[in-house]
Amino acid sequence: MANLNPINLTTGQTEYFKGVGKIRFEGPESDNPMAYRYYDEHKLVGGKTMREHLKFAVAYWHSLCGTGGDPFGPGTKAFPWLQAGDPVQQAKDKMDAAFELITKLGLPYFCFHDFDLIAEGDSLAENEKRLQTIGAYAKEKMAASGVQLLWGTANLFSHPRYMNGAATNPDFAVVTHAGAQVKMALDLTIELGGENYVFWGGREGYQSLLNTDMKRELAHMARFLHLAKDYARQQGFKGTFFIEPKPMEPSKHQYDFDSATVIGFLREYDLLDDFKLNVEVNHATLALHSFQHELQVAANAGALGSIDANRGDYQNGWDTDQFPNNILEITEAMLVILESGGLQGGGINFDAKTRRNSTDLDDLFHAHIGGIDVFARALLAADAILSKSAYRQMRRERYASFDSGDGQAFESGKLQLTDLARIAGRNGEPEIRSGKQELFENLVNRYV
Ligand code: XUL
Ligand code: CO
């Protein structure tokens, strides 16, 4: 069904998504595929609007640049905004398409890598010029639309010079180049009022330990992050830096393996005051964790910053980056997010791509609408579980023996090991207590 709620385009600007208007909330009964059933940006949930809770962002790389190429064949999507031969013109066309997409979806944010915005040139000076040109254009588009930058980052993994890593490269010449690139990406992020800055260590890891001095590489990575953080702070950047864990791919082993590994690293190198985590669903499952587990580990350290939303595939083990559609998985995630007080500084970035054979332009809308509604629905379910059900009470009761008496004394550090032995001797064999897992599962299912 057509949805033709118009949006304002600058005079003379090409409309790329013709036949698609502004996507509006129409409620669960709507049968319009170009409408939200659950995402009602102004709806209050636990004192905050859905828009504030979720802070959705469109990922520039997948949605505007990814034409569907894979190791077995080239791209399949002839995006009309990628046709210009001149790099600046192509970048501007792409940005027009990006802002049309984001505005029609009614989302508040976008995220980018430096060379998603504009093709990389053949020197640092040329790159700086190109980024400044497209940065000025972005600034105009942002002011006209009200769309903001959730985070920026630098692509330190595609160019052949980074094949042995960027900050962890064994060749200092490459490390300096990564530094130059991060400096420019930080300048651009700050110029555009970016709220956060991300480091995803694509090739910061190893292919073989035989040729790798891991201890030295980790120290270099920490030094590099300190330099980037110090520079950004000197430029007045107040936002948060995020590390995005991923266990493998493209490296065989990546140093930012999972949440626990990253938190240990940040603590060891004194970076936890400025850095938090950007947790990605499919990276969690590649690390053989659940998404909820990764969020909880980050939250325990006060470092749950942001989310890259997508999902993996149950039958294969690589980063398929599909759009989210598993309501149960996201409801369990929203429980962790709400209980830990929300994302710290970040939001929900759709680091997800339509399939190689999803070649229509409106597939980008179906993908985002589906993912957005899954998060909105999960937010409603999680809020209801926390505010209306016995969920919290049931979990608290499992720990009731620590609320008073000896259990409380143990928790507050007042007992010795000999006290535990004495109390055990006095009380005899503990009662068998059920974990009630099925009851918890049924309770959650009642609300999704
Ligand atoms: C790669 C990935 C990246 C980061 C940003 O798996 O998730 O797109 O999110 O560099
Ligand atoms: Co990501």
Q: Does the structure show a pLDDT above 60 at 51?
A: yes
- Alpha carbon nearest to ligand 1 atom 8, residue: 351
- Whether residue 301 sits in one domain with residue 274: yes
> Are 412 and 294 in the same domain?
no
How far, in Å, is the centroid of ligand 1 from the Cα of 116?
12
Closest-lying ligand 1 atom to the alpha carbon of residue 62: 8
Hey, what long-range contacts does 191-194 have (CB within 8 A, 24 or more apart)? 191/135, 191/139, 192/135, 192/138, 192/139, 192/142, 192/149, 192/152, 193/142, 193/148, 193/149, 194/149, 194/150, 194/151, 194/152, 194/239
**Mean pLDDT score, 109-122:** 98
Same domain, 250 and 382: yes
Q: How far is the CA of 66 from the centre of ligand 2 (A)?
A: 14
On whether residue 86 sits in a domain, the answer given is: yes
Domain boundary among 360, 388, 416: 388
How many domains would you assign to the chain? 2
Rg (the chain; Cα; Å): 24
244 Cα: distance to centroid of ligand 2 (angstroms): 7
The ligand 1 atom at the shortest distance from the C-alpha of residue 113 is: 10
Looking at the structure, tell me whether residues 85 and 184 fall in a common domain. Answer: yes
Q: What's the average model confidence in pLDDT over 351-365?
A: 98
Nearest atom in ligand 1 to the alpha carbon of residue 155 is: 10
Q: Using pLDDT thresholds of 50, 70 and 90, give the confidence band for residue 8.
A: confident
Confidence of residue 3 (pLDDT cuts 50, 70, 90): low
Confidence at residue 279, expressed as pLDDT on a 0 to 100 scale:
98
Q: Is 256 in the pocket of ligand 1 (CB under 6 A)?
A: no
Q: Do 112 and 67 fall within a single domain? A: yes
Q: Which ligand is nearest to the CA of 249?
A: 1
pLDDT tens sequence across 288-302? 999 999 999 999 999
The enclosing domain of 51 has a CATH number of: 3.20.20.150
- Are 330 and 425 found together in one domain? no
Q: Does pTM top 0.75 for this prediction?
A: yes
Torsional sign, CA 126, 127, 128, 133? positive
153 lines ligand 1 (CB under 6 A): yes
116 lines ligand 1 (CB under 6 A): no
Which residues 6+ apart lie within 8 Å of 402 measured at CB?
408, 410, 411
Section 337-349 average pLDDT: 98
Query: Same domain, yes or no, for 158 and 202?
Result: yes
Alpha-carbon distance of 159 to 164, in angstroms, equals: 11
Mean pLDDT estimate for the chain: 97
Same domain, 172 and 117: yes
- The yes-or-no verdict on residue 1 having pLDDT over 70 is no
Residue of 200, 320, 322 to mutate, ligand 1, most atoms within 8 A of C-beta: 200
Nearest-5° Cα angle at 307, 303 to 308: 140
402-430: pLDDT as tens digits: 999 999 999 999 999 999 999 999 999 99
Nearest alpha carbon to residue 133 among 176, 165, 88: 88
- Quick one: what percent of the chain has pLDDT higher than 70? 99
Residues 184-212: tens digit of each pLDDT? 999 999 999 999 999 999 999 999 999 99
Residues 6+ apart with CB under 8 A from 316: none
In-domain check, residue 436: yes
Asked if 435 and 298 sit in the same domain, the reply is: no
Binned at pLDDT 50, 70 and 90, residue 2 comes out as low
Terminal C-alpha separation, the chain:
27
164 within some domain: yes
d(CA 283, CA 178) in angstroms, rounded, equals: 24
Residue 436 domain boundaries: 404-447
Residue 106 lies in a domain: yes
Mutate to test the pocket of ligand 1, among 60, 150, 153, 318 (most ligand atoms within 8 A of CB): 153
Nearest protein CA to atom 3 of ligand 1, as residue: 200
Q: Is residue 27 part of a domain?
A: no
- Asked if the structure places residue 24 within a domain, the reply is no
Q: Is residue 85 part of a domain?
A: yes
278 and 427 in a common domain: no
Of the candidates 56, 123, 63, 137, the one whose C-alpha atom is nearest the C-alpha of residue 95 is: 137
What pLDDT, on a 0 to 100 scale, did the predictor assign at position 420?
98
Q: Print the SS3 string covering 353-419.
A: CCCCCCCCCHHHHHHHHHHHHHHHHHHHHHHHHHHHCCHHHHHHHHCHHHCCHHHHHHHCCCCCHHH
The reply to whether 91 and 240 lie within a common domain is yes
26 assigned to some structural domain = no
Q: How far is the CA of 124 from the centre of ligand 2 (A)?
A: 25
Q: Could you tell me the distance, in angstroms and rounded to a whole number, from the CA of residue 351 to the centre of ligand 1?
A: 7
| pLDDT, tens digit (0-9, with 9 covering 90-100), for 230-265 | 999 999 999 999 999 999 999 999 999 999 999 999
**Separation between Cα atoms, residue 77 and residue 83, nearest integer Å:** 11
| 299 and 240 in a common domain | yes
